[in-house]
Structure 1
Amino acid sequence: MNPYILLMLAIISEVFGSSMLKLSKGFSKWLPSIGVLLGMSSAFFFLSQTLKELPLGVAYAIWSGVGTALTAVVGVVLWKEALNVKKVLAILLIITGVIIMKLSTDMS
């Protein structure tokens, strides 16, 4: 399977797991707690499959960067967390870093 599709699945799984972590209320709610375990274990499984074809630095930069940015967006949209100029700038910097990391690998 295409490593970027696997990486996308890893990112979606991680964002799902993180969202369930908030709902689990410190693992006191059992159904969201199961969601955390499923989401995070799926994320690491898909990431491990991605690493068969992609360099670790690139895969991890994309996984963590895009995952962080998407989790921040989920926080704003679902949990009504504050969105301000600093948060938008931080998300844009993360995305820029991921793009530069990917481009630096393609050029070598």
Structure 2
Amino acid sequence: MQWIYLGIAIIAEVIATSALKASAEFTRTLPSIIVGVGYLTAFYFLSLTLRTLPVAVVYAIWSGAGIALIALVGWLVLKQSLDAAALCGIGLIVSGVVVLNLFSKSAAH
């Protein structure tokens, strides 16, 4: 169940972060509400995940997946470009999360 909670936390954080630009510095009501609810949801489900998994593992996965997904949203939705350095950096982050999950005894909980 902790992995489902982590997935919900990641998705909620990506939605909230994606709505930040549309909130226009919190001057637009609906996007601002999405940001607030999204982050509250993300942190709530992140806290549930931390009941059973180590914080280092959870945070590495949460932040790594969030970075990759936000970059994807920026590219697909906001039409922001990703250069070779950005793609390489994101690839290294994702690789680190994969290594952590496959080989770390901490992730085995």
Question: Taking structure 1 as the reference length, what is the TM-score of the superposition?
Answer: 0.93
SS in 2 for 1:26: coil
2:5: which partner in 1? 6
1:39-54 superposed matches below 5 A: 39-54=38-53
Provide the residue aligned with 2:61 in structure 1. Answer: 62
1:92 alignment counterpart: 91
Which residue in the other structure is 2:81 paired with?
82
* 1:72 paired residue number: 71
Q: State the partner residue of 1:101.
A: 100
State the Cα RMSD in Å.
1.5
Q: Given the alignment of the two structures, is residue 22 of structure 1 paired with residue 9 of structure 2, yes or no?
A: no
- Looking at structure 2, the residues matched to 22 and 68 of structure 1 have their Cα atoms a distance apart, in angstroms, of 16
Gap runs ≥5 in structure 1 = none
Unaligned segments of structure 2, at least 5 residues: none
Contact 2:54 2:107 in 1 (8 A): no
- AA at the equivalent of 1:87: A
Local SS of the residue matching 2:53:
coil
Percent identity, aligned pairs only, is 45
Displacement of 1:101: 2.1
Give 1:51 deviation, angstroms.
Answer: 0.4
